[in-house]
Structure 1
């Protein structure tokens, strides 16, 4: 357990450092804009390209893995959405944000760096696949459910086109596609370009985690919403449990892939949930609280989970015995 704590403490330490800095240095949250641009449009795409372009092609095709992990995320979203819909007596927009709070993990900022350090470079491919397909799911569900809830900014065709454009133009998705293409073609960039991309990739996790901490500091928690009583366990316990069970049902996967998938599912609510809530003007402050509270609780829950899977207490196949 001490080794696990030592392994992941730098990651949560970077979040804490960003949080403390955000409290001490009173710059507005808008000051993070360019750092976020660097993270989302440059550093993380460079990381995904570097990981995937050097991966054997045969490892990139795993339909059962993709279906199992994406289905698990969808079922968790559906659970959170259903609970919220019942509590709000049919408020679809609010239920959508709560569903996302329970299913949309911080797989962009925290996922790659944490998985590569805790599990190893073999985690690169499953992390990239989960990121692509989970984000495609969330990018699809958010505007679709908001449209069903009455926020129809255009015709169904226009909404569908907007969803497709959002997916195919996302820098992470583009970088992943280019990385896969490079792996298939066996193409490698010139050495100076490769070193440059690696330099950018190395900056991704530290910058992302620091920015996350600052963001949390600049959105102080005014009160703990009662909804977190079910959102926190859905996100931090039921989501990784669902991924583990469905991977066991769908096939016999590499233990490294299973561990990577469980780890990503156990991560706290993504800051993008707050961004989506802000975009639609729905459940904004409580979405921010969900990000903060799940992040704080995940310090203990993710540490415990890593201990359980690394020690073999939680086997890769839940139905092996």
Structure 2
């Protein structure tokens, strides 16, 4: 257990450092803008590119793995969405609640924690899950908002907006370039490769620190009544369902299974707040969901890694 705590606490410690520094220094949230630009457009894309470009191309075509992971996430989304509607919620609020329950922080937290926990073998499943699950969320959110009448554009405008968000997202662009580099066995020249390596190593600590700052600077005025189901679905049922789907659908490498479970166990993504603010729906409560699930994930992610590393969980439920 000590080695798991030693692995997890420095990771969450970076979030705590960002949180504490933001509370002490009292700088405005706008001061975080350039760090977010560095993380979003440079550091994390460089990390994805570096890892994928050096991966054998045959490892990047695991369609059944992608389907199993996406199915688990979609079922969690659908369960929260349907439950919210059943108890009187409207479509826009239900969409944000469903994103809070299903959309994990797989961009800022996923790569760093997975690579620390499982080594570079975790890079490919991280990139595949990130790319395809983000595509799913980028399609679901605007489509449901349009169907509800919230800022409803025409079908062609909606399709163009969704396509632009998918194809121009820096992480997805980096993933595509990394896959192409792997397919054509391209290696960056020495100086460029070293630059990418330096930048990619900064991705995890900067992303975690920025996440802590962001959590500290968002006011928490309203705790959502749906926080219980969101915590249950995001931190407990999502990784369990992902584990079950992977065991049912295919026979995958052990590290891939553990990586998918770990990413499914991560707290609500900060993007959920951004989407809520974009549509002016459930904004403060989306922020509260991120804070509560992030705090709770310190215990749940630690427990999951302990179960994995101690051998309590088999890599396949149905061998």
* Pair in the same fold by TM > 0.5: yes
Unpaired segments of 5 or more residues in structure 2? Answer: none
Post-superposition CA distance 1:180-214 (Å, at most 9, x none): 00001001001100000001100100110000000
Aligned position for 2:187: 188
Within-5 A mapping of 1:1-321: 1-87=1-87, 89-320=88-319
Which region of structure 1 is more displaced relative to structure 2, 200-209 or 78-87?
Answer: 78-87
Post-superposition CA distance 1:261-284 (Å, at most 9, x none): 000000000000000000000000
How far off its partner does 1:224 sit?
A: 2.6
Post-superposition CA distance 1:141-175 (Å, at most 9, x none): 11001011111442011101110111001000000
Output the aligned Cα RMSD: 0.9
What secondary structure, in the 3-state scheme, does the structure 1 residue paired with 2:202 have? helix
Distance in 2 of aligned mates of 1:279 and 1:185: 39
Distance in 2 of aligned mates of 1:52 and 1:45: 11
Distance in 2 of aligned mates of 1:152 and 1:282: 12
How far off its partner does 1:225 sit?
A: 1.9
Distance in 2 of aligned mates of 1:90 and 1:20: 35
Distance in 2 of aligned mates of 1:161 and 1:52: 28
How far off its partner does 1:86 sit?
A: 1.5
Distance in 2 of aligned mates of 1:220 and 1:260: 32
Distance in 2 of aligned mates of 1:241 and 1:160: 33
Query: Is the CA contact 2:219–2:284 (under 8 Å) kept in the aligned structure 1?
Result: no
Post-superposition CA distance 1:11-43 (Å, at most 9, x none): 100000000011011111111111111100000
Which region of structure 1 is more displaced relative to structure 2, 150-159 or 110-119?
Answer: 150-159
Distance in 2 of aligned mates of 1:297 and 1:73: 19
Distance in 1 of aligned mates of 2:19 and 2:79: 31
How far off its partner does 1:223 sit?
A: 4.0
TM-score (norm 1): 0.98
TM-score (norm 2): 0.99
Post-superposition CA distance 1:236-278 (Å, at most 9, x none): 0111011100001111100100000000000000000000000
Distance in 2 of aligned mates of 1:142 and 1:21: 33
Distance in 1 of aligned mates of 2:118 and 2:229: 29
How far off its partner does 1:221 sit?
A: 2.4
- The size of the alignment, in residue pairs, is 319
